[in-house]
Amino acid sequence: MKESLMDVICCPIDKSDLELTVDERDDEEIIAGTLTCTECGETYPIEDGIPNLLPPDMRDEATA
Amino acid sequence: MGAMNDRCDRRMTDDSKRRLADRRGQETRVYQPAEDSALLADVVVNVVESGDRVLEVGTGSGWVAEQLEHETKASVYASDINPFACTAARDRGVATIRANMLDPFARRSFDVVCFNPPYLPTDPDEEWDDWMEHALSGGPDGRRLVVPFLSDLRRVLAANGRGYLLISSFTGYDEVVSIAAEAGLQTDPVREESYPFETLFVLELTPIEMSTNDDL
């Protein structure tokens, strides 16, 4: 993901702003990192450049 | 575009299981572009303006979002709940977010939001619990994901933003219009195309002006 994505995303649970922590970057592309909700503190992983903004209870579940 | 022709085979009979099985022969994890994708892309490419922020919900293979990326000068984003779809869309060069519907998108973010939902009405007893089922099944009434999409759309639309929703005659046209109205959205059919067993529509969804309480 690119940093500009931060303008359009929020915490899926309480819609608060997210804070970006970058672990791995390739030029402008953020490959790995964490998005943390500034309100509830929930964390969302960025893996292979894709932020996973599913709430924790949906993250591992398959299709529903 | 391998799935383009077999959509015409679909009919409202009890052979949905066989139909889904046919689909599985081609692809088991990610919905591939079909004529509904082409119809939605064609409409949205022509309404998007330079500099717009555009979101495709439930992007599947990422094909529609890729067309928008190539054919317009908008900032294009795509989301899907399916991790395999997210990877497919990312590999097409689209900014991809793994998400449930519109849940993680900030208010007033997008000028255009489009969605080609799973819409085949499916008997609960015939549900296959896998990703392709999720991509095709609209639940018992075909509107499983249409309802949450419509109820949250206004929140993420920027001023003068619009939604574009693809539905089939299977989805229940009048029901969708009435659910949209309840969510404060005006519905205008901007494209219609008939196939042997269904008609596809692209609906333009515009927030209805409210004198008060417009601050959703």
Q: Do A63 and B133 touch (CB under 8 A)?
A: yes
A34, A1, A4, A36: which is closest to A17 by C-alpha?
A36
Q: What is the CA radius of gyration of chain A?
A: 12
- Residue A64 binned pLDDT confidence (cut-offs 50, 70, 90): very low
- Higher pLDDT: A25 or B119? It is A25
What's the CA gap between B83 and B135, in Å, rounded?
A: 12
Minimum Cα–Cα distance from B95: chain A residue: A1
Chain A positions touching B106 (Cβ under 8 A) are 7-10, 15
CA B65 to the chain's CA centroid: 11
Chain B positions touching A44 (Cβ under 8 A) are 104
Res B34: pLDDT: 87
What average pLDDT does range B115-144 have in this prediction? 80
Give B129's strand partners.
Answer: none
Q: What is the pTM of this model?
A: 0.86
Q: Do A8 and B77 touch (CB under 8 A)?
A: yes
What's the CA gap between A48 and B108, in Å, rounded?
A: 28
Contacts of B131 (CB under 8 A, 6+ apart): A62, A63, B28, B29, B30, B82, B84, B85
Give B97's strand partners.
Answer: B79
Q: What are phi and psi of B30, to 5 degrees?
A: -130, 130
Q: Does A58 touch chain B (CB under 8 A)?
A: yes
Alpha carbon distances (Å) from B168 to A28, A60, B48, B124: 40, 31, 23, 20
Chain A positions touching B137 (Cβ under 8 A) are none
The domain tally of chain A equals 1
Q: Does A32 touch chain B (CB under 8 A)?
A: no
What's the CA gap between B150 and B152, in Å, rounded?
A: 6
Q: Do A8 and B110 touch (CB under 8 A)?
A: yes
* pLDDT tens digits, A4-50: 999 999 999 999 999 999 999 999 999 999 999 999 999 999 999 99
What average pLDDT does range B3-10 have in this prediction? 42
Chain B positions touching A53 (Cβ under 8 A) are 97-99, 103-104
Minimum Cα–Cα distance from A57: chain B residue: B100
**pLDDT of B108 higher than 50:** yes
ipTM of the complex: 0.94
Other Cβ atoms less than 10 A from the Cβ of B100: the count is 17
What's the CA gap between A27 and A30, in Å, rounded?
A: 8
Q: Give the domain extent around A54.
A: 3-63
Res A61: pLDDT: 57
Q: Cβ distance B112 to B54 under 8 Å? A: yes
Q: DSSP per residue over B74-135, as a string? A: SEEEEEES-HHHHHHHHHTT-EEEE-STTTTB-TT-EEEEEE----B---GGG---SHHHHH
**pLDDT of B19 higher than 60:** no
What's the CA gap between A3 and B41, in Å, rounded?
A: 26
| DSSP state letter for A16 | -
Q: Do A55 and B109 touch (CB under 8 A)?
A: no
Res B3: pLDDT: 43
